[in-house]
Each structure stands twice: as structure tokens, then as C-alpha cells.
Amino acid sequence: MQETWRWFGPADTVTLQQIRQAGASGVVTALDHIKTGDIWPLEEIKTRQTLLTQNGLEWTVVESVPVHQDIKLRNGNYQAYINNYRQSLINLGERGIKRVCYNFMPVVDWTRTNLNFELENSSSALRFEMSDFIAYDIHILERVDAASDYSQAQVGKAAERYAGMGDEEKMLLESNIIAGLPGGEGSYDRQGIKAAIEAFRGIGTAGLRRNLQLFLADVIPAAEEAGVVLAIHPDDPPFSLFGLPRVVSTAQDARAIIESIPSTSNGLTLCAGSYGARSDNDLVAMVNEFGPSIHFVHLRNIHRESDGSFYETEHLEGDNDIVGIISALLNQESARRLNNSPLAEIPMRPDHGHAIGDEKNDPTVRPGYSFSGRLKGLAELRGVIHTITTLARRG
């Protein structure tokens, strides 16, 4: 597996030199300065790629070319945005950048309620607390009919939680949920997110799934022409937020996406943390079933709680069988090599990391994207990969 590293461009506090020192050979990055829906110009792609190459690194995966909300709704200026998306894929392919991660989450991208969850060793992790989220949805955002989306027990617990919050805690919770996390698509104020949610109110799961299939039908031919593979990222968390539909949360969702547009360019990102936040997702079985369609991997671990809450653990701890997942992925790589696949090696990155040491209290560090936390995770994952491959060679 190719070791890669998420980099947020020249303004990132992590330098390209540090990425090389971490041992990664590939970079996962995006042209975040380009407005969602606009074409990624060839020259802009070349400039970023050249910068990486000059520093001894490869632009391995694009994460992400964002999908405009008009495309997800199939209204407004969606046709122009689809045309732009096609051209961006063609431009990336022309520069030899073959893997594009994207998501189809409506309104909110990846979501957490606590960005500094204190662990026993005094490091901090990302957490999604269900009661906090419901308290925000019902009592702060005051979304219409929000309470009807939850059980009476959940509503009662959220009311108690809200009653115990001070004004500063409420403001921080709102900022964590709607202000936008690293790599996500934009941010909202309270009225803005209410309007965005309302736009999706009537579309439903079937409507969003149909619009995803139509989007793929529109762009996969361009991806095939460019030699590019699209790898959809799962919903994070993999269940409904704000009553919004989710269509990339389960093995059945992944199966439906692959079967909807049969093409080597229509693939998946296996995010262990996202899919793994549901206990009904067997990640090793998913790798075994969907292996030929997996073009990118996020390796992280989580601890699930009975009400849907979770927090991000050490990479080799938690509820996901990381060793089993890696072993299954390495088997997929072996099968690809036997079949002379042009994309035999699967790029992975250590997804998120705890804030440790001096980075814990550094406000410039992006939540989940500390250097030392990810460095620790990459070293642990590298050890697993090395051990499995060494034992396999010895027979």
C-alpha cells in the first residue's frame, strides 16, 4: 500500500518536508481555493503538482473535487456545474492524476460535536456526541419538526443536556457543527444552514440516490476518457443528520453505487472510521466484496457507543479490526498485480490523529490533522503492513 498524507496546500502548518520525513511518498490534496463548481484549470493543477514533485512527492489522490449542492438537488445551475466537473476530471487526467475522492453528503460534510475530547492520556480526539447534536438540532437551531426524528428517550436526554449548557458551550457546539471542518465544503451561519436543509427537505433518500446515479452517468464517461477513477467517500457519520438523507452509509449503499454504473472508473473510498461508526458494517467483508472497486483508503479507528455516539481512538485500538482490514486490502493488491491492473497499489493515509504534546493547545492545528498524531498513526499502520507482508513472504 502506498503511504500518503493529507496536505491542505501552501498555507498548511505541516510542510512538505515534514511529510517526506514522516515517510509518505504520496500527497492527498485539493485546490481548495477554487470555488465549488468552477473548473480546475490545467495550469493550477500543474502548479500544485510541480510544487509536490519538486519536493520529492507525488500527487496521488485528489481529495476532493467538491460536488456542488445544485448537482445533489438536480436544480439551479446543475448542468453547468456537471460540465465543469467533467472538464476538471479531464484536466486532472491530462496531468496523470488518476484518483479523485468525492462525497455526496447533503448540506454538511463530515461532522463532529467535540473537537477536543479529552482522553485518559491527556491527548485530545474528535468526538460525535449524539445528545449534544440533538440538543443543537432541537433547541439551538430549532429546526422545524426536529424532535420527530428522534425517540422520546433521545429528546429527553438532549433536553437535559441543553439545560446544563452555558452560553459559551452552546456557541462552541454550534461552531463545531456548522462552521466547517478541514477539507469540508464551506461553512454556514444559523440561518444559512436552515435554508440549506429546507432545500433538501422534500428530496428524500430515493431522490438523493437517484441524483447520485444521474451524476455518475453524467461524469463517468469523462472519467473513463481521462483514465481517472472516482472514489466516493462514505457519509460521516453514516446516518441521517438534520433529517437529511444519506446514501453512502452501508454495504448495501456501496453495492448500489457500484452496480448503478458498471465501470472501472466508478469506485469507492474505504474510510474505516466512517463506515466503522455503524456496528452493522463488517469492514473486512466489505473489502473482500468491493476490493476491485476500492481506489483509496482512510485508516482510522473509533469507539462506538450504544446511542450512536463515537470518538476517534488510537489507530490500532477501537472497534475496527484494522489488522484484518489491512490484510484484506493487501490481498486485493496481490490479486490486482496478478491481473496486471494499472492501479494495483492502493493509496492509504492515516486519517485524523490525536492532538498530542505541544500541538494539543496550538490553535493553528486543524482539528484531527495534527502532525505528531498522524505521524504516530502512520508509524503504527506501517508496522502492521510490514509485519503482514513479511509473514506472507515467509509463507
> What span, in angstroms and rounded, lies between the C-alpha atoms of 292 and 309?
31
Q: Which residues contact 329 (CB under 8 A, 6 or more apart)?
A: 1, 270, 287, 291, 294, 297, 346, 348
Q: 190-199 vs 167-178: helix axis angle to the nearest 10? A: 40
d(CA 349, CA 252): 25
Dihedral pair phi/psi, residue 154, rounded to 5°: -65, -45
- Rounded to 10 deg, the angle between the 78-94 and 204-226 helix axes is 30
d(Cα 58, Cα 386) in Å, to the nearest integer? 22
Residues 288, 276, 265: CA angle, nearest 5 degrees: 50
Distance CA 96, CA 48 (A): 13
Q: Report, as residue numbers or ranges, the catalytic residues.
A: 233, 271, 298, 351-352, 369
Question: How far apart are the C-alpha atoms of 33 and 314, rounded to whole Å?
Answer: 32
Nearest CA to 352 out of 5, 21, 3, 2 is that of 5
* Cα distances (angstroms) measured from residue 81 to each of 67, 72, 89, 192, 227: 8, 11, 12, 21, 21
Give 82-115 as a 3 state SS string.
Answer: HHHHHHHHHHHHHCCCCEEEECCCCCCCCCCCEE
